[in-house]
Amino acid sequence: MNPKLTLILLLLLALTGCKEDSRVKIIKMGHAQVTAHPVHNAMVFLAQRLEEKSKGRIKVKVYPNQQLGTERELIELLQIGSVGMTKVSAASLEAFSPEISVFGIPFLFRDDAHTNQVLNGEIGTELLLSCQKFWLRGLCFYDAGKRSFYTKNKPVETPADLAGLKVRVQESKMAINMVRAMGGSPTPVAYGELYTALQQGIVDAAENNPPSFYNSRHYEVCKYYSIDEHTMVPDVVLVSTKVWEELNPQEQEWLQEAADESAVYQAQLWKESVEESMREVQKAGVIVSYPSKDAFREQVQSIYDQVEAENPVLARLIERIQNTRE
């Protein structure tokens, strides 16, 4: 064959190849957790479901372990559209969507049923969509259980045990206020840097749910886990509105469905993971205690009073959540 023709044919083939490829939308999804964590598996499930629904036309590539940035950085990358999706703690979203800070109010939720009622109802939808004005669209919540203190040197039995302790908190004003109200010294540290911060004594304590305490291996450094369950801060799956708007209505529907299905799947994984984590950390020598919650609850009454006095929007949201019943 004429070499010139061969070249043209090869070029055409390459171009068709590119055209094929460019029809496939690839969405990058970054998060801060390790791959053994149930939220990672739920995101992989979301990606599979979306690929199936779209017959391979939309692919989500999941990047764990802060590979694309800390939760705060990821949120900012979504806002400019350079990362398409993420899963962050609602606490990390506080600075971007003020209403979301309601999840940081300690002892607001009565139990799991109450939390689910709120998240799956009108308030949950409102909060997910409240991020849109900040170029972030919340697709669904993932269960992130209840957060409790873990410490290096002594258990936290009462708020007095927090005195003098540097307690790592998320980058959240509400979490800072909570630890301060309870008597500890709050120190914000990004999740991915926390193991070293604990090891090197930059902080003496932290707080999290059992799967994160276990999968992050913080239990290797912190041998006391005091289950006071002060907050129930859910995780939020977000898509950049820039990416969302580039999808046609059918694709948006697929993405929403895939996210909703992944939330159902994650809830199942979560329950198993909590049990496994509690078992494993104790096997590794962690002493688990169940302090009375009343003293902790009393200490944070000042947070409720302050919100009541200074933030009518949040106060109203708290009231609506308290009044949510089955």
* Sites of contact with ligand GCU (CB under 6 A): 32, 71, 88-89, 144, 170, 191, 208, 212, 235
Q: Which is nearer to ligand GCU, 54 or 208 (CB)?
A: 208
End-to-end CA distance of the chain: give it in Å, rounded: 76
Q: Which is nearer to ligand GCU, 141 or 224 (CB)?
A: 141
Q: Which is nearer to ligand GCU, 58 or 162 (CB)?
A: 162
| Residue 164 CB, nearest approach to ligand GCU (Å) | 22
Q: Which is nearer to ligand GCU, 71 or 229 (CB)?
A: 71
Which residue shows structure tokens 């688990």? 288
Calculate the dihedral angle through the C-alpha atoms of 128, 134, 135, 138, rounding to the nearest 10 degrees: -10
| Residue 302 CB, nearest approach to ligand GCU (Å) | 23
Which residue shows structure tokens 């914000």? 188
Token pair in block for residue 313: 């929007």
| Residue 323 CB, nearest approach to ligand GCU (Å) | 27
Between CA 288 and CA 239 the distance in angstroms is 37
Between CA 111 and CA 66 the distance in angstroms is 31
| Residue 34 CB, nearest approach to ligand GCU (Å) | 10
| Residue 4 CB, nearest approach to ligand GCU (Å) | 57
Q: Which is nearer to ligand GCU, 50 or 190 (CB)?
A: 190
Residues in the chain: 326
Q: Which is nearer to ligand GCU, 208 or 299 (CB)?
A: 208
Q: What is the DSSP string of 107-168?
A: T---SHHHHHHHHTSHHHHHHHHGGGGGTEEEEEEE----EEEEESSS---SGGGGTT-EEE
| Residue 79 CB, nearest approach to ligand GCU (Å) | 18
Q: Which is nearer to ligand GCU, 76 or 251 (CB)?
A: 76
Edge-to-edge order in the sheet of strand 25-31 = 58-63, 25-31, 85-89, 235-240, 136-142
| Residue 87 CB, nearest approach to ligand GCU (Å) | 7
Q: Which are the contacts of 235, defined by CB distance < 8 A and separation ≥ 6?
A: 39, 87, 88, 89, 90, 141, 142, 143, 144
Q: Which is nearer to ligand GCU, 54 or 89 (CB)?
A: 89
| Residue 54 CB, nearest approach to ligand GCU (Å) | 27
| Residue 277 CB, nearest approach to ligand GCU (Å) | 11
Between CA 236 and CA 309 the distance in angstroms is 29
User: Which element (helix H / strand E) includes 287?
Assistant: strand 287-289
Q: Which are the contacts of 188, defined by CB distance < 8 A and separation ≥ 6?
A: 168, 169, 170, 171, 172, 175, 176
Calculate the dihedral angle through the C-alpha atoms of 109, 114, 116, 118, rounding to the nearest 10 degrees: -80
Q: Which is nearer to ligand GCU, 103 or 254 (CB)?
A: 103
